[in-house]
């Protein structure tokens, strides 16, 4: 336990999407500061796996099934959390993701693409249902948990909300317009919430991870033999620190934003990207 973050001891954190690699790591980091952690995930087995890892190391955690797009599911999850751990002090809105139906085949549109006999998905072929799914998962999936868990934070000291934005919100990546737009909305919403909640003692900030190898993007960035794909190489070439992020690279910023060390910080979206957002490519 880091003495800098002593005041986190005994607090209750709720982490949506907590069964994933990045948010599971965040959950472990909080648990090491003696925070009681509720791991919320659509897949209960994933949530319970992370919770078991924490409890096996002496921490306090529970896995809870929750659908961030369903109000009743979130309300049921809140009751479980409050019954077993107490009222939420820290909310991390980590649920999110992309969908193939919101993704183009190529980085640029060429005139011949419209005549091609190959199965090329251009901008004109994007599925509105796929776009809506991605936007709902990332934006509505941040809004609804905040409505459910933040209400009990009002007027209490030391409460904070951490949203998970993305490097896409700063510089939209090619091929994934739905995800880039949705994460830009999360960043904007973070600033809006920070102002809205500023008189009731709730701070709202966001992490904007750069490029981390996860189950969702591994096949896009690496080949079966572990070598980098063309897209993976391009990312590394544009990351001044010359590597992908490790999940643990998020922990320090998370703990700082959750603690009194950042007591006068609200409404910021912090890139954790190895310098990607600072590099012009030249």
Active site residues: 179
Three-state secondary structure of the chain = CCHHHHHHCCCEEEEECCCCHHHHHHHHHHHCCCCEEEEEECCHHHHHHHHHHHHHCCCCEEEEECCCCCHHHHHHHHHHHHHHCCCCCEEEECCCCCCHHHCCCCCCCCHHHHCCCCCCCCHHHCCHHHHHHHHHHHHHHHHHHHHHHHHHHCCCCCEEEEEECCHHHCCCCCCCHHHHHHHHHHHHHHHHHHHHCCCCCEEEEEEEECCECCCCCHHHHECCCCCECHHHHHHHHCCCCCCCECHHHHHHHHHHHHCHHHCCCCCCEEEECCCHHHCCCC
Question: What's the CATH number where 160 sits?
Answer: 3.40.50.720
Q: Count how many domains the chain has.
A: 1
Tell me the residue range of the domain where 267 lies. Answer: 3-278
Q: What is the pLDDT along the chain (282 residues), one digit of tens a residue?
A: 677 788 999 999 999 999 999 999 999 999 999 999 999 999 999 999 999 999 999 999 999 999 999 999 999 999 999 999 999 999 999 999 999 999 999 999 999 999 887 789 999 999 999 999 999 999 999 999 999 999 999 999 999 999 999 999 998 999 999 999 999 999 999 999 999 999 999 999 999 999 988 766 766 677 778 788 888 888 899 999 999 999 999 999 999 999 999 999 999 999 999 999 999 888
């Amino acid at each position: 336990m880091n003495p800098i973050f002593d005041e986190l001891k005994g607090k209750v954190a709720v982490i949506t999407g907590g069964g994933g690699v990045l948010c599971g790591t965040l959950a472990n980091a909080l648990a090491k500061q003696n925070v009681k952690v509720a791991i919320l995930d659509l897949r209960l087995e994933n949530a319970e796996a992370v919770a078991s890892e924490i409890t096996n190391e002496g921490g306090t955690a529970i896995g809870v099934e929750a659908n961030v797009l369903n109000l009743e599911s979130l309300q049921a999850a809140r009751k479980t959390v409050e019954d077993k751990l107490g009222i939420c002090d820290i909310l991390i809105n980590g649920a999110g993701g992309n969908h193939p139906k919101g993704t183009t085949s190529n980085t640029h549109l060429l005139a011949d693409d419209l005549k091609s006999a190959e199965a090329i998905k251009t901008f004109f072929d994007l599925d509105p249902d796929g776009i809506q799914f991605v936007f709902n998962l990332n934006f509505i999936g941040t809004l609804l948990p905040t409505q459910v868990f933040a209400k009990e934070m009002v007027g209490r000291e030391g409460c904070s909300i951490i949203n998970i934005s993305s490097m896409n919100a700063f510089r939209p990546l090619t091929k994934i317009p739905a995800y880039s737009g949705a994460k830009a909305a999360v960043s904007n919403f973070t600033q809006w919430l920070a102002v809205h909640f500023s008189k009731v003692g709730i701070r709202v900030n966001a992490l904007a991870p750069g490029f981390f190898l996860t189950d969702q993007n591994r096949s896009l960035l690496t080949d079966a033999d572990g070598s980098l794909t063309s897209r993976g190489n391009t990312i590394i070439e544009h990351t001044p620190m010359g590597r992908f992020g490790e999940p643990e690279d998020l922990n320090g910023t998370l703990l700082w934003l959750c603690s009194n060390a950042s007591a006068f910080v609200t409404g910021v979206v912090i890139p954790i990207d190895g310098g990607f957002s600072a590099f012009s490519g030249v």
